[in-house]
Structure 1
Amino acid sequence: MSILLVDDHELVREGVARLLGDAPDMVVVGQLSSGEEVLEYISHADSNDMNSDIYSTNNIYRMPDIILLDARMPGLGGIEATREILKLAPECKVVAMSSVASGVIPSQMLRSGAKGFITKSVPVEELLKAIRVVNEGDHYVTPSVATRLAVDPFGDDGGGGLFDKLSRRELQIAQMLTDGKKVSQISIYLGLSPKTVYSYRYRIFEKLGIRSDVELTILAVKHGLADDTREYDGLPSFDSIVSFPAKQLIS
């Protein structure tokens, strides 16, 4: 099966690619660092023929069977990226991975259409199992996350789905604000006027009962929408992997 890796950390991409390269039934067809890049990649591939290779001037764009996607990335986050990926290529199956095992991220990723969700601390065997299960058409969720979702389906620790109050656009802007993006940057990225972004920001604050970006970030960390650190746990086997130069596309 063919796999496309999407993560904004090069070490994570290279490590996972090395691990998957040892699996006889898996081939990594590309490594990308953002949601924007994966949408550009998918748009160049033929979503109507999952077995075809599409040739561009410099690279080969092969439509993947599985997209292994980081749930938390700057810019277009994993939640919105998953929705857009499935619009372009509904045949693709998304497996989300995250260092956040609680809060709203798991439930939001699954609602956006991801077929699998694993934490970055899982053993290699579970990573491979998740990919194979999803490729066969089933869902896979890391057991510890599945247990939390069964007890608290909103992923909100009994908070009644606090971030579910936000619209898709509001949630996207909230994530960008917690990533430290300024209103002017969000405005340019989303193609909205600064006034419109400020209006969204005001509605976010009103719905969540907060008054500042600092309070938003604290709330986002508390409910798992943001990490309290941008450092990832990585996979256990990374200790035995030697970092080597990244290749954006692997034929």
Structure 2
Amino acid sequence: MINLVLIDDHELVRTGFRMILQQQPDMTVSGEAGTAEDGLKLIRTLKPDIALVDVHMPGMSGIELTERVDRSKLMKTRIIIVTIVDDARFPKRLLEAGAFGYLTKGCNAEELLNAVRQVAKGRRYLAPAVAQQLALSTLEGEQSPFDSLSSRELEVAMMLVRGKPLTSIGEQLSLSPKTVSTYKQRLMEKLQVDHLVSLAHLMTVHGLLDSHNNRIGS
């Protein structure tokens, strides 16, 4: 039996996943959490085989949760990231953080179940489009300036180019506007850009942002 927990701040998403997973004779959902902090507690307490984790959540991000689970020698839970299509930008970073799987919320039930079963066997699973993108990047020897950013800096950058003000970013990440401003200044210095339009352009060039989703200057 594959034991799972669901970690996502949207209750409807968790309900949908639970309905799909609980219908399978070889799967059971033993717990749910709406924040990464609560999800980490669930993982420590229940020791599930797999955790389905969202990226953007209030407070700790799904990236940070993945890193903490990977660093712990006591937690054997394997993480599958399941994020919305527009946020499918971090596959390389998440794999480096220790994620075993990466799916978008646009996947169908069959792909979700296949990913869970593959990861339960110790294999990695990537959404086909993501796997193709990573393969092409590897073949081309592509280096990205975004590799220098921390997980939190990358997350703040994604929110900034979508037009979110510092106060809104702070509320979502449980950070003060001043702290968000510090992250913004640090990441822009690392990337050597001086305004958000340049940041959005750089992210588009390196495949981290779809040009039609760029809200800066639109």
Contact 2:85 2:106 in 1 (8 A): no
Whichever residue aligns with residue 32 of structure 2, its letter is Q
Whichever residue aligns with residue 125 of structure 2, its letter is Y
Note the C-alpha offset of 1:122.
1.9
Structure 2: give runs of 5+ residues left out of the alignment. none
Note the C-alpha offset of 1:72.
3.1
Q: 1:73: which partner in 2?
A: 57
Q: 2:35: which partner in 1?
A: 34
Aligned counterpart for 1:202 among listed residues 185, 191, 194: 185
Report the CA distance shift for 1:31/1:182 in structure 2 as closer, same or farther (over 3 A). Answer: same
Asked if 1:85 is matched to 2:69, the reply is yes
TM-score, normalised to structure 1, is: 0.67
Whichever residue aligns with residue 96 of structure 2, its letter is R
CA distance in 1, matches of 2:204, 2:60: 18
Whichever residue aligns with residue 65 of structure 2, its letter is A
Alpha-carbon displacement from aligned partner over 1:108-135 (angstroms, at most 9, x marks no partner)? 1111100111122222111111101101
Q: 2:11: which partner in 1?
A: 10
What RMSD, in angstroms, separates the aligned Cα atoms of the two structures?
3.5
Asked if 1:145 is matched to 2:130, the reply is yes
Contact 1:2 1:26 in 2 (8 A): yes
Q: 1:116: which partner in 2?
A: 101
Contact 2:78 2:100 in 1 (8 A): yes
Report the CA distance shift for 1:147/1:159 in structure 2 as closer, same or farther (over 3 A). Answer: closer
Structure having the higher helix fraction is: 2
Q: Which moved more, 1:126-135 or 1:217-226?
A: 217-226
Report the CA distance shift for 1:128/1:168 in structure 2 as closer, same or farther (over 3 A). Answer: closer
Report the CA distance shift for 1:13/1:193 in structure 2 as closer, same or farther (over 3 A). Answer: closer
Q: 2:144: which partner in 1?
A: 161
Contact 2:70 2:97 in 1 (8 A): no
Report the CA distance shift for 1:17/1:228 in structure 2 as closer, same or farther (over 3 A). Answer: farther
Q: 2:114: which partner in 1?
A: 129
Report the CA distance shift for 1:218/1:27 in structure 2 as closer, same or farther (over 3 A). Answer: farther
Q: Which protein, 1 or 2, shows the higher relative CO under an 8 Å CA cutoff with sep ≥ 6?
A: 1
CA distance in 1, matches of 2:197, 2:184: 13
Whichever residue aligns with residue 98 of structure 1, its letter is T
CA distance in 2, matches of 1:184, 1:104: 18
Structure 1: give runs of 5+ residues left out of the alignment. 46-61, 230-251
CA distance in 2, matches of 1:215, 1:35: 31
Match runs of 1:40-59 below 5 Å: 40-43=41-44, 45=45
Alpha-carbon displacement from aligned partner over 1:127-157 (angstroms, at most 9, x marks no partner)? 1111011011111112221111100249xx9
Size of the aligned set, in residue pairs, is 207
Match runs of 1:238-249 below 5 Å: none
Note the C-alpha offset of 1:225.
6.5
Identity of aligned residues (%): 36
Note the C-alpha offset of 1:96.
0.9
Contact 1:103 1:225 in 2 (8 A): no
Asked if 1:99 is matched to 2:102, the reply is no
TM-score, normalised to structure 2, is: 0.76
